[in-house]
Structure formats: structure tokens, C-alpha cells
Structure 1
Amino acid sequence: MSLLPFSQACENNKAPILEVISQVFSSSSLILEIGTGTAQHAVHFAPALPHLTWQTSDQACYLDGIEAQLEFVRSQGAQHTDPIDNIQSPLILDVTQTWPLGELQKEIDGIFTANTLHIMAKEMVEAFFIGVGKHLRTGGSLCIYGPFNYNGNYTSDSNARFDVWLAQQDNRSAIRDIEWIAELAETQGLRLIEDHEMPANNRLLNFKKLN
């Protein structure tokens, strides 16, 4: 069997993220995860939130890894202390294209994404919020995890170094200003409700869809 996709950052941050989203999504029924990546978050969050369905999604190149991760966890069967039966196989989703949600779009009352907006180009971030505005139900919650700048300033030296590294990988990537993110959200009927401080100089932003 090939090695499963793995991110040390996901292992490090999954517990503190779950602590927050378990409250935010306490009354939610269907969560769409944008950028599922290695699926480590999905397989940790879904069994801890059995009242909802967790719909994974990502660009096509990541789907094999996600499917492998889900299949591995499902294969544990009775040996797995928290069997996962509320997690859905990934959709191919590119935020700049039509989101292939079908009937799901009538039911999505939560959207989650982690460590994606600083990877995306600016036009992709804009497309992300347009998609959220279109598909998230009124009253639903959007949770975004990752690093952000405030008033154009880094929150730590490590984030400044990380931003340099991002630019070296792709000059379209960058840590985003929270003010710009909140502005994009407002244009789609979303308001920033909570800004949670998280480990390793990250934040978890909780937006509510007001209309």
C-alpha cells in the first residue's frame, strides 16, 4: 500500500481547530470543506461531529490521496474507535469554476477551509467568496483557518519568513490582510463574528451568512 498523504501542520492544529468548530457547527447539518488536502482534518473532525455530514472537496490532483485516506480509515472497521460514517467522498472543486454541488447547495449550512487563502492567487480568493456567497445558506457559518496580516503588518517574525517562502514558491501566493478578507465577505452577505487566536501565529475566522 502506498503512503498516505500527510501534513505535520494538520496533526499539530487539528485539536485546537476542532475545539472551535465544534461550537460554531454545533447546529449545522452539512459542512462543505474546501481544499481537503491530505484529509487529516476531515477524518479527525467528522467522527467528533456525528450530528452532521462532512463533504470533502479539492482540485482533481488531490482526490486520489483523499480517497486513500478515507478508505484507510473506513477499512479500520470495528478496530477504529470512532468509525466514520458521516464523511462523503470528495468532489472535484476548483473555486474559479462552477461549484459542482447539485442538490447539496440547498443544504450547505457550514463551510470550512484551512490553509488555503494564502496559497490561492488573489482572483482565486475573490472567486472563493463569490462561491461561498452563492452556496452557503442564510444563517450558515464559514470558518477559515490560517495566517493573516492586520493593518498590513505581520503578526510574527515567523509569518514574515513564511510569506517570503510563499512568494518563492509562487509569486501569486501571500498571507492576506484580514481587512481585505472581511471586505470580500461583506460583499457576499457575510459578517465576521469571531476572530480566534490559534497556535503557531494562526487565526480561525468565523463568519455568519446574514442574507
Structure 2
Amino acid sequence: MEKPHSPACERNREPILAVLREHFADRRHVLEIGSGSGQHAVHFAAALPQLIWQSSDRAENLPGIRAWLDEAALPNTPAPLTLDVAGAWPAGPFDAVFSANTLHIMAWHEVEQLFARLPMITTDDARVIIYGPFNHEGRYSSDSNAAFDQWLKARGAHMAIRDAEAVDALAGAAGFVLLDDIAMPANNRCRVWRRVRD
């Protein structure tokens, strides 16, 4: 099959990789939630060979991810897993979780489920990195993000740019504290949480 291609993945992969190099330097087993086209999985796994990069997505996206993984033939990219946040999750344990551009396309109850499940599949010192646009206290960070939010809501009423504070509250309830909040190109952020030992 022809590999799917996301221009956004090409644009944002190097800035995200710089964050991963810092915060996943001592990590070993990453679960990527919502791997999309599979481009990130291949790029990050090639650049960070110490990591086992476990891609995952809904079933309909797995053939495209497999096409990227099969072509790259990297030793640290196992077959992608089917993962719908509202369904069954892999057993883990993972000491790192990464997701890019997913929270704003999920329904809010799915975002809640994502964070609620993290303690069940992560180690007690896990790191979580989520990339994408965030609002602060209900306010857009830029005119372009305001326009993007309107575009999302026109596509589906369940979609929206999420408030950083609301997402932090979900992370906190799951036992994760905010470690870093990094400005990224195109008015996006990389937010990094660390699991707090019980």
C-alpha cells in the first residue's frame, strides 16, 4: 500500500525530537498513543535507538503505520497495537508515553479515560509527553489557534483545543505532576509530566 503522509509530522518532528532527547534520555519502553501515519514512530525510533518505540492507534490506521515500520525495518519498533482509549489497553509496563495532536480530536470523556488508564500501564517513575495546541484559562494562545479551534468544532462538536489547566488536573488525579511546558513552533506546546511514586 502507499504510505500515508502527514506534512505536519515532517514539520514538527525535529522540535519534538529535541524534547524527547532530553526527557526520554533514560527511558527504555515508550507507548505512542495515536501514532497516526506512523512517521513519528519511524523518525523517533531511528534517532533514539535505546528506546523500544511501541506505536498504537485505532484499527483503521494500523495498515499505514505498518507500511512505514516495514519499510524502515528498525529493530526497536514492534508491530503497532490496536488502541482505542475507550477499549482494551496493552499491559505494559511502559516507562514513557508520548502522544501528538490527539487530545483536541478526542472527545473530552476520551481524554479523561486516557489519563485514568495511565497508572495501570506505566512504571512508578514514568514520563508522559503530549504535543499539541493548548489554551490557558479558556483563552487562545494565538489567532491561528482560535481559527483552528473553530475549524475543529465545524468538523465535530466533540473536538476542541483543551485547556492546559484541565488536562493538568486529569494528570494530577492520575498521579502525574507537570515537569515541563515547552513552547513549540506554530503555537504548540510539549507538556511533560512525571509520575509521582506512591
> What TM-score, normalized to structure 2?
0.97
* 1:90 alignment counterpart: 80
Find the partner of 1:156 among 124, 139, 142.
142
> What SS does the corresponding residue of 1:112 show, helix, strand or coil?
strand
Matched residues, number: 197
Find the partner of 2:122 among 120, 126, 136.
136
> What SS does the corresponding residue of 1:131 show, helix, strand or coil?
helix
Equivalent-residue separation in structure 2 for 1:22 and 1:190 (angstroms): 20
Unaligned runs of 5+ in 2: none
> What SS does the corresponding residue of 2:125 show, helix, strand or coil?
coil
Equivalent-residue separation in structure 2 for 1:144 and 1:134 (angstroms): 18
Q: Which amino acid aligns with 2:79?
A: S
Give the C-alpha shift of residue 69 in structure 1. 1.2
When Rg is computed on C-alpha atoms for both structures, the one with the higher figure is 1
* 1:61 alignment counterpart: 60
* 2:48 alignment counterpart: 49
Unaligned runs of 5+ in 1: 75-83
Q: Which runs of 4+ in 1 moved over 3 A?
A: none
Equivalent-residue separation in structure 2 for 1:9 and 1:129 (angstroms): 25
| Residues 79-131 of structure 1: CA deviation (Å, up to 9, x unaligned) | xxxxx2111110001101120x23xx23x100000000000000000000011
Equivalent-residue separation in structure 2 for 1:48 and 1:190 (angstroms): 27
* 1:111 alignment counterpart: 97
> What TM-score, normalized to structure 1?
0.91
Give the C-alpha shift of residue 21 in structure 1. 0.7
Identical amino acids, percent of aligned pairs: 46
Give the C-alpha shift of residue 205 in structure 1. 0.3
* 1:146 alignment counterpart: 132
Give the C-alpha shift of residue 70 in structure 1. 1.1
Equivalent-residue separation in structure 2 for 1:134 and 1:192 (angstroms): 19
Equivalent-residue separation in structure 1 for 2:170 and 2:40 (angstroms): 26
Q: How does 1:1-211 map to 2 (within 5 A)?
A: 2-74=1-73, 84-99=74-89, 101-102=90-91, 105-106=92-93, 108-211=94-197
